[in-house]
């Protein structure tokens, strides 16, 4: 069996919206530039790995895509986890 592992590619995406979903969760939406549309085509059940520098440390977390198919934006829901570095950071975004 021959498996191919793709090298992760990260792109800088603009956060277009931060919606408070519940007291403990937000939905982040990202604008996908036209030239990256094909790269961000998705099917239900896929996820994005978000990367950010928080407190001087590169942090990566994966979140399921919650956008409807065909949306020009990609959205992920992030629930706050006690002591969760990225989930607490996401709650502060505007």
pLDDT in tens, 48-90: 999 999 999 999 999 999 999 888 789 999 999 999 999 999 9
pTM of the model: 0.82
d(CA 24, CA 37): 31
Give pLDDT, residue 5: 60
pLDDT digits 0-9 by tens, 17-52: 999 999 999 999 999 999 998 889 898 889 999 999
- When comparing pLDDT for 57 and 4, which is higher? 57
Question: How far apart are the C-alpha atoms of 3 and 15, rounded to whole Å?
Answer: 34
Do residues 50 and 92 make contact, with C-beta atoms less than 8 angstroms apart? no
Give residue 79's pLDDT. Answer: 96
Secondary structure (3-state) at 83: coil
């Amino acid at each position: 069996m021959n498996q191919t592992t793709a090298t992760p590619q990260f792109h800088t995406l603009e956060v277009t919206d931060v919606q408070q979903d519940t007291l403990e969760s937000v939905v982040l939406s990202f604008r996908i530039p036209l030239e990256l549309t094909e790269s961000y085509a998705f099917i239900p059940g896929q996820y994005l790995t978000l990367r950010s520098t928080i407190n001087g440390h590169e942090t990566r977390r994966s979140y399921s895509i919650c956008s409807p198919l065909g949306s020009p934006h990609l959205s992920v829901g992030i629930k706050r986890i006690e002591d969760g570095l990225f989930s607490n950071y996401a709650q502060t975004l505007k």
